[in-house]
Amino acid sequence: MPINILMPALSPTMEKGNLAKWLKKEGDAVKSGDIIAEIETDKATMEVEAVDDGTIAKIVVAEGTQDVAVNDVIAVMVSEGEDVKAAGAGAGKAEKTAPVEQKAKPETASPPPSGERSMPTDTKASGEGKPSSKHSAPSQANGHDRIFASPLAKRLAKDAGIEISRITGTGPHGRVIARDVSEAKSGKGLKAAPASAAAPAAAPVAMSDKQIMGFYKEGSYEVIPHDGMRRTIAQRLTQSTQTIPHFYLTMDCNLDALLAAREQINAAAPTDNDRKPAYKLSVNDFVIKAMAVALQRVPSANVSWTEAGMLKHKTSDVGVAVAMPGGLITPIIRSAETQSLSSISNQMKDFAARARNRKLRPEEYQGGTTAVSNLGMFGIKDFTAVINPPHATILAVGAGEERAIVKNGKIEIATVMSVTLSCDHRAVDGALGAELLGAFKALIETPVMMMV
């Protein structure tokens, strides 16, 4: 029986991707584990492995095709002894009743927003890939005012302030899917509100592209289309600010003891034959370690909010924002509280290098329990960062600078760093956030305690 090769879901949030390249052609024999194609999403480029032996009978989706929905048939394979030509001829009519999931092998990564990450969301059902004229219905209701819509579509409609019942569904049986909501935002497929319905409260309406461009003289600007990464960043940040009640706490940390310890540790680093040191610690390495240890000392803050209950994490998995052209990505130092400063330092150097070459694997930037965003190297004194769901906190780190401080009744000069903790008020209350930030400050100002 012919085996359908489906567009794989390479991450929990993936809805569609680009079929970048076929590494096998029609008639080629493949073995389990062979790389057959490369798939691109807004977050990553992946290699797709075959999980069975057979022959490629038909390539249904040509390489270079963009926005291929998850679970769409992209090729048909036959087992040994089956008629390749017959299977290829019937590929367009192939049923999706016996799909074989393909392994997605990470290869390179394009940065998602601080986080990417990595929040569990509603994923598309296999039948939502394309509209089905065969099953489309003029109404989404079943006679009892029930609206047929995917969970993702409902959430997107709510975020956009659009009544789900006004959206024309193009999914199976008239089901409203994510693409329908996107169309509705531009006024397409949007039904008129019932005359008898009470007027909803006025909601802020974003200006259209045409309105924004109208402010500027034609020819005075250039339109640069958004890539997938930038769209994802915009979507995630909008979601964060609209769904997470943020509040902010700021403290100043004296860095003098930390800088002295850093200098001693770096000076004592062993070298190889080329006199290259085994590690070179940065202030940010201490920040990562201190945040991880602080979460262990204040475990009630090492949490994630869900409607079902609070997720209380056992380890401190610290995401660290890495800037890249056009966006950023947040690789994660797992169990950072158990790692040495030198290990954290070398991991971050590796992550940063591979992130810029788009070679991070999804498991290296998805998840995490908190995050650190450091703009000190740009001379930024202090700022606030947006929480990356499902985290409940993120620490914004400013530059260390010499300031006048009062010590024992005398004015002295000290190197001071301002840090601001953004908290999800659903999960971390003010007193708890202050306790966490206080634990962090104590570790930064007494760095030897990170070793205990």
Tens-place pLDDT, residues 407-430 = 999 999 999 999 999 999 999 999
The model's confidence at residue 140, banded by pLDDT at 50, 70 and 90, is very low
State which fold the 112-215 domain adopts. Answer: Dihydrolipoamide Transferase (4.10.320)
pLDDT digits (tens, 9 = 90+) for 150-195: 777 787 887 777 888 888 888 766 778 878 887 887 767 677 655 5
Asked if pLDDT for residue 206 goes beyond 80, the answer is no
What pLDDT was estimated at residue 269? 94
SS3 content of the chain, % helix, strand, coil (to 5): 30, 25, 45
Beta-bridge mates of residue 385 = none
The model's confidence at residue 117, banded by pLDDT at 50, 70 and 90, is very low
Asked if pLDDT for residue 373 goes beyond 50, the answer is yes
Asked if pLDDT for residue 105 goes beyond 60, the answer is no
Nearest to 424 by CA among 384, 396, 391, 399: 391
Q: What average pLDDT does the chain have?
A: 82
CB-CB contact of 366 with 115 (8 Å): yes
Q: CATH: 2.120.10.30, 1.10.150.530, 2.40.50.100, 3.30.420.40. Which one for 3-109?
A: 2.40.50.100
Asked if pLDDT for residue 203 goes beyond 60, the answer is no
The fraction of the chain above a pLDDT of 90, given in percent, is 42
Q: Which of 45-54, 282-291, 328-337, 410-419 has the lowest mean pLDDT?
A: 45-54
Average pLDDT over residues 108-114: 42
Asked if pLDDT for residue 375 goes beyond 70, the answer is yes
This prediction has a pTM of 0.61
What pLDDT was estimated at residue 345? 97
pLDDT digits (tens, 9 = 90+) for 233-279: 888 888 898 899 999 999 999 999 999 999 999 999 999 888 899 99
**Is 425 annotated in the active site?**
yes
DSSP string, 80-123: TTS-HHHHHHTGGG--SSS-BPPEEEEEEE---STTT-----PP
Domain ranges of the chain: 3-109, 112-215, 244-451
What pLDDT was estimated at residue 91? 61
Q: Could you give the residue ranges of the DSSP H alpha helices within 161-227?
A: 178-185, 209-213
What pLDDT was estimated at residue 12? 64
Question: Bigger pLDDT: 153 or 20?
Answer: 20
Question: Bigger pLDDT: 143 or 357?
Answer: 357
Asked if 3-109 and 244-451 have one fold, the answer is no
Roughly how many angstroms between the first and final C-alpha of the chain, as a whole number?
62
The model's confidence at residue 120, banded by pLDDT at 50, 70 and 90, is very low
Question: Where on the phi/psi map is residue 64: left (φ > 0), alpha (ψ -120 to 50), or beta?
Answer: left
The model's confidence at residue 136, banded by pLDDT at 50, 70 and 90, is very low
What pLDDT was estimated at residue 201? 52
Nearest to 46 by CA among 109, 116, 129: 109
Question: Bigger pLDDT: 137 or 15?
Answer: 15
Q: How, if at all, do strands 16-22 and 44-49 pair?
A: unpaired
Average pLDDT over residues 371-376: 97
Q: Which of 104-108, 202-206, 424-428 has the lowest mean pLDDT?
A: 104-108
What pLDDT was estimated at residue 283? 97
Asked if pLDDT for residue 68 goes beyond 70, the answer is yes
What pLDDT was estimated at residue 319? 96
Q: How, if at all, do strands 318-320 and 370-374 pair?
A: parallel
What pLDDT was estimated at residue 7? 86
- Residue the block writes with tokens 């001071």: 416
> How many whole angstroms separate alpha carbon 38 and alpha carbon 21?
5
Please state the φ and ψ torsions of residue 404, each to the nearest 5 degrees.
-80, 125
Asked if pLDDT for residue 452 goes beyond 90, the answer is no
Nearest to 371 by CA among 251, 252, 291: 291
What pLDDT was estimated at residue 397? 98
Question: Bigger pLDDT: 180 or 108?
Answer: 180
Q: Which of 144-148, 193-197, 334-338, 445-449 has the lowest mean pLDDT?
A: 193-197
Tell how many helices (H) and how many strands (E) occur in the chain: 9, 19
Q: How, if at all, do strands 370-374 and 393-407 pair?
A: parallel
Asked if pLDDT for residue 328 goes beyond 60, the answer is yes
State which fold the 244-451 domain adopts. Answer: Chloramphenicol Acetyltransferase (3.30.559)
Q: For the sheet containing 3-6, what is the strand order? A: 3-6, 73-78, 54-59, 29-30
Tokens (6 digits) for 289: 């370690």
Question: Bigger pLDDT: 54 or 127?
Answer: 54
Catalytic residue among 173, 246, 313, 425: 425
Q: Per residue in 61-98, is it b (16+ CB within 10 Å) or e — as a string?
A: beeeeeebbbbbbbbbbbeeeeebeebbeebeebeeee
The model's confidence at residue 101, banded by pLDDT at 50, 70 and 90, is very low
> How many whole angstroms separate alpha carbon 26 and alpha carbon 58?
6
CB-CB contact of 13 with 233 (8 Å): no
